[in-house]
Amino acid sequence: MSGWFETVAHAQRLAKKRLPRSVYSALLAGSEKGVSYDDNTAAFAELGFAPHVAGLSEKRDQTTTVMGEQISLPVIISPTGVQAVHPDGEVAVARAAAARGTAMGLSSFASKPLEEVVAANPRTFLQMYWAGGKDAMERRVERARQAGAKGLIVTLDWSFSYGRDWGSPRIPERLSLKEMVRFAPEAVTRPRWLLGYLRSRTLPDLTTPNMAEPGQDPPTFFGAYGEWMQTPPPSWDDVRWLREQWDGPFMLKGVCRVDDARRAVDAGVTAISVSNHGGNNLDGTPAPIRVLPAVADAVGDQVEVLLDGGVRRGGDVVKALALGARAVMIGRAYLWGLAAGGQAGVENVLDILRGGIDSALLGLGRSSVHELTRDDVVIPDGFTRPLGAS
């Protein structure tokens, strides 16, 4: 089958072949030296499994719930901004997630409107940054409510991404004629990517329709980014205030410390995502899988705990669940699938993860993802990082 791949790494290789150099390199973004970016995946490789050889379960169940939504596997789509990898962008991702029975996280900086994405996948959570005044935040919350979003994901783990030692691709604010001429040599070397946009009669959309004020054109990515940068960082009282504006499921994304996790519980959140924004936050922050056990222990069953960062295999998902996560969120993995094969490529990625989860459950003798415990994982000495636990 054209565009089919066997692993997430294979999808990444196909994405690299099909995307213009600057578009592909934007997907590899990690702040500064990329220490956190590298650790996100390397940490999973340090963990082992403790398999059984007999008495294995004939059937394995992967279904679970996240923020009130039943999903067919413990993997949901993490919100990522402006997706120039495919003309259908977040709508294709939402359809793929719906086809595979899971939920969609949509970024405020997405290239497709919330309403279109909810139509493609009713199990959609809107991600919000703390940007603009409280009036603007209230309007975005109300839009989410009117559009039928099932929950909010408030992202606070993107605060320090100012540069990369190996250089960042130049991203224009708008695709003007001058910018298209400058970008043309890259685009013509990737004819399949270019042909996709020509067939759709569109150009890569660098605006953020979910940040638009009523009656106004949507801001560019950098316009929305500038609003976020000029907004004072939120306090815990601000988090509590925002939680009060939304009467449904509410996730706080970006927790790495035990003390922050406890404050999130006090603020009334229903879920937290252990995350370092894919290595795009303060470089040197440990991989989420290293801090997960302490965070999960600290909050117990008071809130749902998810993990976001470094997941490339079904085995990674199982390791996260064994260490205390209810589910994981994936970002780069599905973007590579989207670049490699559109909606079918994202479905392919989810199928790969599902197969890997099933294999791990079989080897561990578990009949359900809910049976996983830390006894299933080999944790080397010094692996965990209980930040803020004193």
For 8-378, CATH number out of 3.40.50.300, 3.20.20.70, 3.30.70.1560, 3.40.50.450 equals 3.20.20.70
Side chain identity at 224, as an amino acid letter?
Answer: A
HEC states along 34-48? CHHHHHHHHHHHHCE
pLDDT digit string, tens, across residues 183-204: 667 777 787 877 888 788 887 7
AA letter at 328:
V
As a whole number, mean pLDDT of residues 384-388 equals 96
Of 33, 162, 199, 175, the C-alpha closest to 111 is 175
- How many alpha carbons fall within 13 Å on the CB side of residue 70? 2
Active site residues: 277
Q: Comparing 30 with 283, which gets the higher pLDDT?
A: 283
Q: What is the pLDDT of residue 178?
A: 65
What is the reported pLDDT for 200?
A: 84
Does residue 224 surpass a pLDDT of 70? yes
Average pLDDT over residues 235-262: 97
Share of the chain above pLDDT 70, in %: 93
Give residue 28's identity as a one-letter amino acid code.
L
> Higher pLDDT residue, 375 or 188?
375
Q: At what angle do helices 35-46 and 314-322 cross, to 10 degrees?
A: 80
Query: Mean pLDDT across the stretch 353-373?
Result: 98
Question: What does the pLDDT look like over 98-149, one tens digit per residue?
Answer: 999 999 999 999 999 999 999 999 999 999 999 998 999 999 999 999 999 9
pLDDT score, position 1: 45
Does residue 45 have a pLDDT over 70? yes
Distance CA 186, CA 20 (A): 5
Q: What is the mean pLDDT of the chain?
A: 91
pLDDT of residue 179: 63
What is the predicted pLDDT for the residue at 242?
98
Query: How far is residue 389 from each of residues 116, 264, 274, 296, 384, measured CA to CA in Å?
Result: 42, 15, 15, 12, 12
Please state the rounded mean pLDDT for residues 207-235.
87
Please indicate whether residue 221 or residue 111 has the higher confidence score (pLDDT). Answer: 111
| Angle at CA of residue 383, ends 159 and 351, nearest 5° | 75
DSSP 371: G
